Amino acid sequence: MREALWLVPLLPFVGVLLNGVILWKRIPKRVVALIACGTVGLSCLIGVGAIASYMASPEYATHEPFEQVLYLWIPAGALQLSDGGFADFSVEMGFLLDPLSAVMLFVVTFVGFWIHVYSIGYMHDDPGFQRYFVYLNLFMGAMLLLVLGNNFLVLFVGWEGVGLCSYLLIGFWIQEKFPPYAGRKAFIVNRIGDAGFLVGLFALASTFGTLNYREIFGRIASDPRLVEGEYVLGLSLAAFVALCLFIGAVGKSAQIPLHVWLPDAMAGPTPVSALIHAATMVTAGVYMVARSNVLYQLAPGISDLVAVIGAITALFAATIGLAQTDIKKVLAYSTVSQLGYMFLAAGVGAYGVAIFHLATHAFFKGLMFLGSGSVIHAMGGEQDMRKMGGLRKVLPTTYWTFLVGTLAIAGIPGFAGFFSKDQILASAFEGHKLLWMVGLVTAGLTACYMFRLLFMTFWGEFRGSEEQRSHLHESPPVITIPLVVLAVGAVVSGWIGLPRLGHWDWNWFGHFLEPVMATVGDHGEAAHHLSVGLELALMALSVVVAALGIYMAWRTYGGSLGLAGGQRWADRFPTLHRWLENKYYVDELYDATVVKGTWASARGLYRFDANVVDGAVNGSRHVTVGTSFLSGFFDKYVVDGLVNLVGWMLQRWSHFFRRLQTGVVSQYALVIAVGMVVLVFFYVVVALRG
């Protein structure tokens, strides 16, 4: 079955081909949905089968990955390496199935499948139904290439592909003004990160002569000194590549300072926000860091940077989430914040924990986005929480599933988020106390703003218009069933990664991922040898903090308080509230500097082109016209002038000589006489001389 691995990324592309090209606008919605969801569902099943087959295989027993090469994609030939030697550079189209990619494969296909099903209901009345599913399938194919690729270039192809689909899907409603703008913003900000990513790839290729994971990481593992010598800018090769790749991750996973695209990406359809901007695409950066953990282990400075940025982003986004009124924006900033947690974990060396949180987050954040979609659908398109309230009575299924997600993200024990977040904090506690503190505070804030969202939306009295009230209804099963499935996942997914408490080691997940996160050299990640007591104490502390956050939220928004509580806080800290509400004015800063700068230079260059370049071209026109004028002038006056001169002279002379022909014979005789006299004269002169 694992031989059929190549079908997993291929099937969604087949869906694209069918829905987008061959059967475009020729089939009813039912068939479109069938093709789209069917291909993803099949991918999921085949993927699970492949994983099972792999786990039963001998390679798995020896901690070897399963590699499947389809064909030689780029046989480039001789590449000069940075040390002067030559390597035969080639890139295959191949897939790698190991524990890490297996986890990613399952998360992507499973969550993706249920979001596809959800979309059938959500996008049912949209005229772009077929186009939507074409893009969604295209995204799935690209994401699967990303996670299954066996070399950095296939990963990059998928990386770019999901970026493209993100742009297509954010700006899905092209008839509006904002969505296409948001799509462009996302793509451009991503591109900045991608530039750094590419530089990292170049460095890798020119050092190792290949981009294949096993070759690169294998060579590093056997001789870490390969990447520890000084390379450029005072960094070792490992540090430089780690930094460059991380820049790409910052763009793709919306970390500071390239986070600005994700909140605006909420302009796309809600299932898109769920799939791409919660569960899968944004996690590609985390996956990439985990995949390259060998490099990050050998670049401690950069790893610290990763952790710091992750922590700052987590705190920063959480504070903004407290003051947002759009339900999707709150979830967006929440995503940014949780991604920060993942990078914090990766930065302190807990790569497996980062992936764990990635998986649990995919479930509960995906769930909550879909839930918010259900709410928005019921509210007839309204996304402002100030107009909601009391919806738990009208949307019970939505409410209960949303509650599960909220409890999970808040880190309440028993739910998935608790286990993953707790492990992050535990990993940070050892050696990075300050970061641990930041993470803890953020956890409290997370619980606070998430429950604020819950209370504002589902509790209290309805604050919307009468028309909206009459429209309220629970969503159809095609929407609610995925909610339930994901809610189950939000609970269950945590149980496979229980922390190690002394002898009680049920961390199946962590062990599962161990072969991939093998320590390199003597840079072993500090095994969490926290004592049981300390571990439990930390757990309790995080629960207390979460409870504190929930309490604050309930005090402000809970019950029948409605918006009054929030308003009191806003009045007490008006400046702070304004800064939070306006996202610390980061977008405004970027707009004033980068955006306007780029526009100004574009205009300047355009003027250069129009005036100097075109001016030169037009100038050459003038030169040509002038030259041709001169030439014509020369021809007309000099050349023709000479010709005319000859004619004129002839005329004048003939005029002159004509006067000789007087017709008077005497005068002819005179001429003869003159001639005769002249001859005589010459005779005389000659006689005189002689």
Instruction: State the burial class of residue 34 (Cβ atoms within 10 Å of its Cβ: 0-12, 13-18, 19+).
Output: middle
Nearer to other proteins, 610 or 674 (CB): 674
Nearer to other proteins, 22 or 665 (CB): 665
Contact window for other proteins (CB under 8 A) among 84-92, 190-198, 603-611, 665-673: 665-673
DSSP letter at 87 equals E
Site for other proteins in 43-62 (CB under 8 A): none
Amino acid identity for residue 206 in this structure: S
User: Distances from the Cα of 223 to the Cαs of 226, 292, 440, 488, in angstroms?
Assistant: 6, 16, 38, 45
Question: Token pair of 668, please?
Answer: 């002819």
Q: How far is the CB of 634 from other proteins (least distance, A)?
A: 39
Residue 655 binds to other proteins (criterion: CB under 8 A) = no
Q: Are 175 and 35 in contact (CB under 8 A)?
A: no
Question: Token pair of 654, please?
Answer: 């003939």
Residue 650 binds to other proteins (criterion: CB under 8 A) = no
Site for other proteins in 196-255 (CB under 8 A): none
E strands present in 254-383: none
DSSP string, 15-30: HHIIIIIITTTTS-HH
One-letter-per-residue 3-state SS of 576-598: HHHHHHCHHHHHHHHHHHHHHHH
Nearer to other proteins, 85 or 663 (CB): 663
Nearer to other proteins, 470 or 661 (CB): 661
Q: How far is the CB of 660 from other proteins (least distance, A)?
A: 10
Q: Give the residue, chosen from 527, 617, 664, 686, that forms a contact with other proteins under the rule CB under 8 A.
A: 664
Residue 658 binds to other proteins (criterion: CB under 8 A) = yes
Contact window for other proteins (CB under 8 A) among 32-40, 57-65, 512-520, 667-675: 667-675
Q: Phi and psi of 560, rounded to 5°?
A: -105, 20
Amino acid identity for residue 180 in this structure: P
Residue 684 binds to other proteins (criterion: CB under 8 A) = yes
Nearer to other proteins, 62 or 666 (CB): 666
| CB neighbours of residue 57 within 10 Å | 15
Contact window for other proteins (CB under 8 A) among 34-42, 220-228, 418-426, 657-665: 657-665
User: Distances from the Cα of 130 to the Cαs of 8, 11, 125, 599, in angstroms?
Assistant: 22, 17, 11, 36
Residue the block writes with tokens 């609970």: 491
Contact window for other proteins (CB under 8 A) among 105-113, 131-139, 471-479, 661-669: 661-669
Q: Give the residue, chosen from 117, 534, 673, 690, that forms a contact with other proteins under the rule CB under 8 A.
A: 673
Nearer to other proteins, 78 or 665 (CB): 665
User: Distances from the Cα of 435 to the Cαs of 66, 306, 441, 454, 617, in angstroms?
Assistant: 37, 11, 10, 28, 61
Residue 427, C-beta contacts closer than 8 angstroms, at least 6 positions apart? 345, 348, 349, 350, 353, 528
Binding string, residues 599-638; x marks residues near other proteins by CB under 8 A: ----------------------------------------
Q: How far is the CB of 648 from other proteins (least distance, A)?
A: 20
Q: Give the residue, chosen from 78, 527, 617, 687, that forms a contact with other proteins under the rule CB under 8 A.
A: 687
Residue 690 binds to other proteins (criterion: CB under 8 A) = no
Q: How far is the CB of 662 from other proteins (least distance, A)?
A: 6
Closest CA to 218 of 367, 98, 57: 98
Q: Give the residue, chosen from 665, 686, 689, 690, that forms a contact with other proteins under the rule CB under 8 A.
A: 665
Number of H helices, E strands in the chain: 30, 4
Question: Token pair of 373, please?
Answer: 């979609």
# of chain residues touching other proteins (CB under 8 A): 18
Nearer to other proteins, 518 or 680 (CB): 680
Q: Are 325 and 455 in contact (CB under 8 A)?
A: no
Q: Give the residue, chosen from 529, 657, 666, 690, that forms a contact with other proteins under the rule CB under 8 A.
A: 666
How many residues are present in the chain? 690
Residue 663 binds to other proteins (criterion: CB under 8 A) = yes
Contact window for other proteins (CB under 8 A) among 15-23, 493-501, 588-596, 675-683: 675-683
Residue numbers at the binding site for other proteins (CB under 8 A): 658, 661-667, 669-670, 673-674, 676-677, 680-681, 684, 687
